Chain A
Amino acid sequence: DAGVTQSPTHLIKTRGQQVTLRCSPKSGHDTVSWYQQALGQGPQFIFQYYEEEERQRGNFPDRFSGHQFPNYSSELNVNALLLGDSALYLCASIKTGGESLSGELFFGEGSRLTVL
């Protein structure tokens, strides 16, 4: 049973560039959430996608956008990168209904973004 997979695992960008991160949810899961984890901090909620729509959004600027595809996979896009965007970007999936109501998230290994 494949867990949550993310790509790329590491990437380096320069200020002002744009980046796209990808996530495939755990088998059977249909909801994807993205989190940003800065060094020494806990994950911060960016947004959640369900049925190809953004269902919730955290306190992140519009430079952060996303997409969910019919196969439930998802992308996170960040435009006009800033130095402060350097972080581990985590994708988490849940299956709508059942235990998902408790917030039990299944995380991927993350994509580590460095902005120079």
Chain B
Amino acid sequence: QKEVEQDPGPLSVPEGAIVSLNCTYSNSAFQYFMWYRQYSRKGPELLMYTYSSGNKEDGRFTAQVDKSSKYISLFIRDSQPSDSATYLCAMSAGGYQKVTFGTGTKLQVIP
């Protein structure tokens, strides 16, 4: 069983839709939860990070963490064609521990 599970998609939505991306994990030591965005042929860039459980909002993006269920989500409101990319969830136990990534979900927002 992988430490982090993520549906690879692809996910195709119309412009303006609300997008929900999810990951589950098995390692209880994970304390930091991140979402990275990766455009084609580029390196990942950090989109959001959350410590422990709870919600965090940044513009059109909301990250949620439910440690009791070992489940994290990223919501994108009013999706734009420029949001088309692969979204990677990532987790760490902190303290310079390695960051473990999900497979990534490929998102396409259709104008």
Contacts and interface: CB of A to CB of B under 8 A. Distances in A.
Interface of A: 4, 31, 33, 35, 40-45, 48, 50, 55-56, 58, 90, 96, 100-110, 112
Contact of A45 (B6, B45, B49, B100): B100
Interface of B: 4, 6, 8, 32, 34, 36, 41-46, 49, 51, 88, 90-92, 94-104
B99 A103 contact: yes
B90 A103 contact: yes
B49 A4 contact: no
Given A42-B103, A42-B104, A56-B96, A104 B46 contact: yes
Contact of B32 (A4, A42, A102, A108): A102
Contact of A104 (B34, B98, B100, B103): B34
A45 B42 contact: no
Nearest to B99: A103
A51 B14 CA distance: 48
A71 to B, nearest CB: 21
Nearest to A48: B98
B98 A107 contact: no
Nearest to A101: B94
B96 A110 contact: no
Nearest to A40: B8
